[in-house]
Structure 1
């Protein structure tokens, strides 16, 4: 029996490392050809090479999600190279520099919103016409638990991830007529480079030891453990497969019970 995504092509943004890399690997394991898109071109190529060494079809692409030109070039080049686009995973993102909102700068707001929210809009806008023409597709946005329950001192990050859920619902309504589904996955806390950076900055802001900051996260998780990148990747591959064909406009928690809504 063939793998569930055999013959399909998936684009993953921010796929060079961390969560994006785990998602790219899971999609490849399920048979998809993977476009490994990242602003860090050498790291994207390294990830693509790892996937190729495992027998997958993988191509690296330099992509800046903040740029409409980059988004259009990515969509066109992947279509030319791989023949179609069946799955788009908008994973690229940045973490917050924690601070009370009244101390935030416009520069910090723009930094987070441009990548986490505008980046989802631009990349999806570029890829959607191909899926509309095919009359099929799966679009999966990576949001966050803070889109379900906000936390203090991370206003731009929370706003960006709430925006992703709003885009999920709106895009799902608009694209349903073309049999294109749009969903979001809301991870909790994952011990990746991004979260390590957030903990370090929170430690500096509060004066708490980093271990104590990590413990505050553990204390909020019903299952008492952090998520692994593979946990989120498993939900992504499910939504990308035929098993998810009747699911659209939803935002799924994968957070160990950190949030139930």
Structure 2
């Protein structure tokens, strides 16, 4: 979409178009009349995913901590003729999570899809040097807030006969990035959250799956993408990261298409799966 949408890691899978089960004819708007919430969706991966869902016919509610970011992203996607609205949401605040869900219900009558993408990574360094305050912040936003937002959304999905949840974790849950200890741990926890929720929510016809992206060039991941602040690692330190990038940079369409595929699996049989996107 913009520079922040460039991808440093190439997808291991290609996007598959959804076919109508009865006729085998490709659907132009497979998510028509579906309502999707996407957190941290005014930039980077979240914005790219929101755009793709809307292109497939979903009515998308964007969210971000800052109103100006919400306004900018909504205007950009509405300018493409997409059905997109937005609201401020700090996922770590209960009142903001409630407002996000209430906004979708008020504007569109409910929620069918949730993409939980919000995360923080406030430090780079030795995990043994991480303070309790940092641990609390990372686990609060990356893990607890994710679980509580899903809890808030589930009743609305049940009213519509089911739904789909996609949690965005990280390949760091499998191959930890040096210097990002708390972040890696939080993303590993999301794998467990995915499996537990998938089992519990299956009887309610709600699918829960997980994406584990590799290194992606976004404003969030400046330390991995070559734009460094005084608190980010040096180029030499960056060389320590696992070789999961192709060195060329791929556009964000790969990542957003992969998320889009997960929320609209033909047959709706895909549950508690983790999809690495390298």
TM-score calculated relative to the size of structure 1: 0.88
| Deviation by residue 1:120-165 (Cα, 9 ceiling, x = unmatched) | 1121111111112222101001000011122333221011101111
Shift of 1:106: 1.0
Aligned length: 251
Q: Is the 8 A contact 1:189 1:226 kept in 2?
A: no
Structure 1 residue 9 and structure 2 residue 32: aligned? no
For residue 240 of structure 1, what is the aligned residue in structure 2?
263
Structure 1 residue 143 and structure 2 residue 169: aligned? yes
Shift of 1:202: 9.2
For residue 130 of structure 1, what is the aligned residue in structure 2?
156
Shift of 1:12: 0.3
Residue 171 (structure 1) aligned to one of 197, 214, 217: 197
Q: Which has the higher helix share?
A: 1
Q: Is the 8 A contact 1:188 1:227 kept in 2?
A: no
More displaced stretch, 147-156 vs 9-18: 147-156
For residue 13 of structure 2, what is the aligned residue in structure 1?
none
Write the mapping of 1:1-261 to structure 2, written as runs, cut at 5 A.
1-197=27-223, 208=234, 210=235, 212-217=236-241, 220-221=243-244, 223-226=246-249, 228-243=251-266, 245-255=268-278
Q: Cα gap change, 1:228/1:92 in structure 2, threshold over 3 Å: closer, same or farther?
A: farther
Q: Is the 8 A contact 1:98 1:201 kept in 2?
A: no
TM-score calculated relative to the size of structure 2: 0.83
For the residues of structure 1 that align with 2:94 and 2:231, how far apart are their CA atoms? 35
More displaced stretch, 194-203 vs 233-242: 194-203
Q: Cα gap change, 1:243/1:226 in structure 2, threshold over 3 Å: closer, same or farther?
A: farther
For the residues of structure 2 that align with 1:216 and 1:225, how far apart are their CA atoms? 18
For 1:140, what is the secondary structure of its paired residue? strand
* Structure 1: tracts of 5 or more residues without a match: 256-261
Shift of 1:240: 1.2
Q: Cα gap change, 1:98/1:4 in structure 2, threshold over 3 Å: closer, same or farther?
A: same
For 1:54, what is the secondary structure of its paired residue? coil
For residue 259 of structure 1, what is the aligned residue in structure 2?
none
Shift of 1:246: 1.2
Aligned-residue CA RMSD in angstroms? 2.2
Shift of 1:65: 0.4
For the residues of structure 2 that align with 1:213 and 1:102, how far apart are their CA atoms? 18
* Structure 2: tracts of 5 or more residues without a match: 1-26
Q: Cα gap change, 1:205/1:40 in structure 2, threshold over 3 Å: closer, same or farther?
A: closer
For the residues of structure 1 that align with 2:133 and 2:126, how far apart are their CA atoms? 15
Work out which structure has the larger RCO, using CA pairs closer than 8 Å and 6 or more positions apart in sequence.
2
